[in-house]
Amino acid sequence: MNMLHLITQQLDLGLIVLDSRGCILMCNPWIAKRSNADPVTSIGLRLEEAFGASIDPRIARVVREALDFGWSARLSHALHPTPLPLYAIGGGEERIKQMIDVQPLKQDGLMLCLLQIRDVTETVRRESLLRQQARQLRTDLAKLASAQEELQRRELRFRELARLAPAGLFETDPQGNWAYLNERTSAFTGVSPKEGLGKSWFDCINESERPRVKAQWQIARESAIRFAEEFHCQRPDGKALWLRVEAGPVKDAQNQISGFVGTLLDVSEYRIRAQHIEFRANHDALTSLCNRERFDTRLRAAVSGAQEVGQSFALLFMDLNGFKQVNDEFGHAAGDKVLCTVADRLRRVTRQEDLVARYGGDEFAILLLDVGDEKALLHVVSKVRQAVSLPINAGGFHAQVSASIGIAQFPRDAQDAAALLHFADQKMYESKRQRKAAGETVILPGEQLLDSNTDSWDN
């Protein structure tokens, strides 16, 4: 009990245990540091008595459902951002953003309720920043498109100004052969204004994309419509760019297309920024694995697809045994090293079509869309356990963690994404309890560095 008490004191989340009447049995110091509630004097009080009447009334409802029906619930920050009067350490009048997990517990025949409160203020702030960056990118792209249209309207009539234009300007015959290209176009493509005349502008496009662009050009020529495409350009000097071309048809006196006049713009930076923002929104910043939100989306899609075709798949939910000891004994830098190493190993023992995610903290999830029979699935689980349990070179010492893994199969164990995750999570905790009962050793500190060849295994 002393060890359990010590653990609850050190957890970086709030814990509140309620009895069957909804009265507080225990709350840890994390709560006390962020509220006016005292862990000692709050014992025996209801939530509204301990925290005041300003708590979200929905908490009482989900607590009652947990005690009466054994239902788990989550008050996410998106719908319930500040359910309890909790504030940042050091002051401030604004409540911290919270996510509360409500979980029923059963002890000695009595139903209890566990509240786990997490501070997600920083997560919300980062999400807001990403949204702001995405909005700024859309604004930049809109401004860019507007500038291109303005340039095209003017430069078609005033070719002499083309030399000073910030965008590439060009003219071709109906087949796409250069009739004119300004200095900016030459700088983008590496084709000189004189040497390029009479040659096809398609030659500056990467061969893999050339058929697609040519097909769109043919459609624009036959239909007398505007042409717009983005493509990779491989210049003669080896530099690769993302270019955007917009061109409009020019008609002669007989109303026949005599060629195209267009603009050319380097959009490499915008492409890179967009890809970077998309990656950050869908991947874990530390391990570069798929993040929780992206994994949940893919899991829901897998359920929908499997229901349509009548297939099955498996979900592995994994927690690292001994990870907290690594953090406590060697610091967070060592913990980060362990997480990154585990992530790399999971990539190596899974297939390209499998999806591996860091679900949060030291929890990982793996989506196996096609693993065959039960024997094949257990083989995959064995490979994962073996890979995770190998010693990890963390700089000056080595650590060894192990994996508690919960397995859920669709549709055998559950028929929707949330239920699959819950089933796998429960199985994982059963595995963790069994390992603790067996007295598993999870950290092996050492005095010497491991050789880099030690951190490997046979796939």
Q: How is residue 93 written in tokens?
A: 């009048």
SS (H, E, C) 14-32: EEEEECCCCEEEEECHHHH
- Contact criterion met (CB below 8 Å) for 13 and 30: yes
- Contact criterion met (CB below 8 Å) for 420 and 303: yes
Cα 424 to Cα 420: distance, rounded to the nearest angstrom: 6
- Contact criterion met (CB below 8 Å) for 105 and 114: yes
The neighbour count for residue 140, using CB atoms within 10 Å, is 14
Q: How is residue 66 written in tokens?
A: 């947990």
What 3-state class would DSSP assign to 176?
A: coil
Task: Using alpha carbons, list the distances in angstroms from residue 133 to 130, 241, 265, 279.
Answer: 5, 23, 22, 13
What 3-state class would DSSP assign to 131?
A: helix
Cα 266 to Cα 246: distance, rounded to the nearest angstrom: 12
- Contact criterion met (CB below 8 Å) for 403 and 319: yes
Cα 267 to Cα 284: distance, rounded to the nearest angstrom: 27
The neighbour count for residue 33, using CB atoms within 10 Å, is 13
Please identify which of the residues 56, 354, 362, 425 carries the catalytic annotation: 362
User: Could you give the count of Cα atoms lying within 13 Å of 321 in the half-sphere of its Cβ?
Assistant: 24
Cα 61 to Cα 113: distance, rounded to the nearest angstrom: 12
Residues 6 or more apart from 204 whose CB is under 8 A from it? Answer: 189, 190, 191, 233, 234, 235
Number of separate helices (H) and strands (E) present in the chain: 13, 16
What spatial distance separates the first Cα and last Cα of the chain, rounded to whole Å?
42
The neighbour count for residue 309, using CB atoms within 10 Å, is 6
φ, ψ at 395 (rounded to 5°): 90, 95
Is 284 part of the annotated catalytic residue set?
A: no
Residues belonging to the chain: 459
Positive or negative, the Cα torsion across 376, 378, 384, 389? negative
Catalytic residue IDs: 362
